Amino acid sequence: MDPIREYQRHVLATLAYRGGKTLRGAPPSFAAFQAGPGSRTPAEIVAHLGDLMDWALSMASGAPQWRDSTPQAWDAEVARFHAAVGALDAFLAGDRPVACPVDRLFQGPLADALTHVGQLAMLRHLAGVPIRGENYFVADIVTGRVGAEQSAPVREFA
């Protein structure tokens, strides 16, 4: 396996782990929470995360295409996020050549997605439903594990 592709896959596993933590256990009202006028809701951010992963896959496949999705119901949007991360991971795990510079995949859609996961964590706090901080260095993040089912935290903070 190409070490750069394997690293990209670990980035995706990290995104799935951290993203999953911010999305799990959110009350239904969280989807529509707005931090201020004109700010994106969590549902809009999760839809954007799915769009970012779809865009990354389209670029990696050699057919770049961007789309802005209308947010679906919360559970459907969370499932779409994990499915889109899974599709990109499956592509990177395969034999097809990546049709774009892999460093651009990281600096564009993957880094953007990690930023948005941080926004969701902050919005959870602002909405009164915070998640616990965690030592992600010791987290059980496994390349290829990109679905909603993730390991329990190893070391959360009080």
| DSSP-assigned letters across all residues of 124-149 | HHHTT-PPPPB-GGGS---TT--SS-
**Assigned domain for 114 exists:** yes
**Assigned domain for 71 exists:** yes
Per-residue confidence (pLDDT) for residue 1, from 0 to 100: 77
- Which residue is associated with the tokens 């990281």? 106
How many domains does the chain contain in total? 1
CB count within 10 Å of CB 119 equals: 16
Helix (H, G, I), strand (E, B) or coil at 45: helix
Among 140, 131, 112, residue whose Cα is nearest residue 50 = 112
**Assigned domain for 79 exists:** yes
**Assigned domain for 158 exists:** no
Average per-residue pLDDT for the chain: 96
For residue 99, the enclosing domain spans: 3-138
Per-residue model confidence as pLDDT tens digits over 91-123 = 999 999 999 999 999 999 999 999 999 999 999
Q: What is the pTM of this model?
A: 0.95
- Residue partners of 97: CB distance under 8 A and separation at least 6: none
**Assigned domain for 100 exists:** yes
Residues pairing with 134 in the sheet: 156
Per-residue model confidence as pLDDT tens digits over 8-31 = 999 999 999 999 999 999 999 999
Residues pairing with 156 in the sheet: 134
Identity of residue 63: A
Q: How far apart are CA 98 and CA 87, in angstroms?
A: 14
**Assigned domain for 153 exists:** no
Domain of 39, CATH number, reads: 1.20.120.450
